[in-house]
Amino acid sequence: MAHPSVAVLEYHLVSYRRMWRSTLFSSFAMPVLLFVGVGAAVGEYVDRGDALPVPYLHYIAGGMLAFTGMQVAITESGFPVQSYMTWDKVYHGMAATPVRVADILAGHLLYIALRVAAASAAFLVVMVPFGAVGSAWAVLTPLVAALVGLSVAAPMFAYSASVTGPYLMTVMRFATMVMTFFSGAYFPVDQLREPLSLVAYPLPLWHGVELCRAAALGTGTAWPVAAHVGVLAAWFAGGLALAHPRFVKRLAT
């Protein structure tokens, strides 16, 4: 007999079968357009000055892959979670069966990890013809992106499960914006002045960007790989520690 969390994952996959078309643009087309557009246009300037050791398009590719994963994860752990908890109460339906709260969380997070991995794998495939894949380590980038996805989804679950007002959109936008600017996807964070650049280090996306860029280009990471992975894992674990009791509480009332 399959584990209950697998049954929950199956539910989300069945649900995705009904709406995958509507996610094609945001999960696949838009990141690719942004990559090619920014890479070509901005790259034109940046590469003239030889500011980077590699072409700009190659420089941003790995980071944008991680960024894409983060975006899918934030979207999937925002309104869907709020709706399952507050409006359609799909979670409540699950909670009336042998499925436990931990299974509900695990199944949904597993689904998000798969969605992120799929979106970043597609992005990786697009990177190849642009010459942006310089190392075999690149095959690991969808896995890293999935970890980035989990590291932002888990805390988002905790937030989305308990918020009913109009703030969810604001929080999602703000989190996305901060990570867009401060995670080094588009330019090295040390380009920022000292206090600002420090913003990057606690953000999960910066660690994802570092790992994915290094894997794609076959270069080194800013911190030891274990440290980057550790920060992502800590975000994930911390998010779970917040989300689980909130789910328990909301599902019991």
Residues engaged in binding other proteins (CB under 8 A): 1-2, 4, 7-8, 10-11, 14-15, 18-19, 88-90, 92-100, 251-253
Quote the least distance from Cβ 57 to other proteins, whole Å. 39
Residue number with CB closer to other proteins (14 or 136): 14
Q: How far is the CB of 11 from other proteins (least distance, A)?
A: 4
Which of 18, 48 has the CB closer to other proteins? 18
Report which of 206, 58, 28, 34 is spatially closest to residue 123, judged by C-alpha positions: 28
Note the Cα 253 to chain centre separation in Å. Answer: 31
Buried b (16+ CB within 10 A) or exposed e, 64-99: bbbbbbbbbbbbbbbebbbebbbeeebbeebbeeeb
Residue 70 in contact with residue 179, Cβ under 8 Å?
A: yes
Nearest approach, Cβ of residue 204 and other proteins (Å):
30
Long-range contacts of 91-96 (CB under 8 A, 24+ apart): 91/247, 91/251, 92/251, 94/8, 94/11, 95/251
Which one-letter DSSP state was computed for residue 190? Answer: G
**Nearer Cβ to other proteins (88/190):** 88
Please identify, using beta-carbon distances, which residue of 2 and 136 lies nearer to other proteins: 2
Tokens of 105: 């969380």
Tell the smallest beta-carbon distance from residue 84 to other proteins (Å): 9
Closer CB to other proteins, 36 or 248, in the complex: 248
Q: How far is the CB of 253 from other proteins (least distance, A)?
A: 7
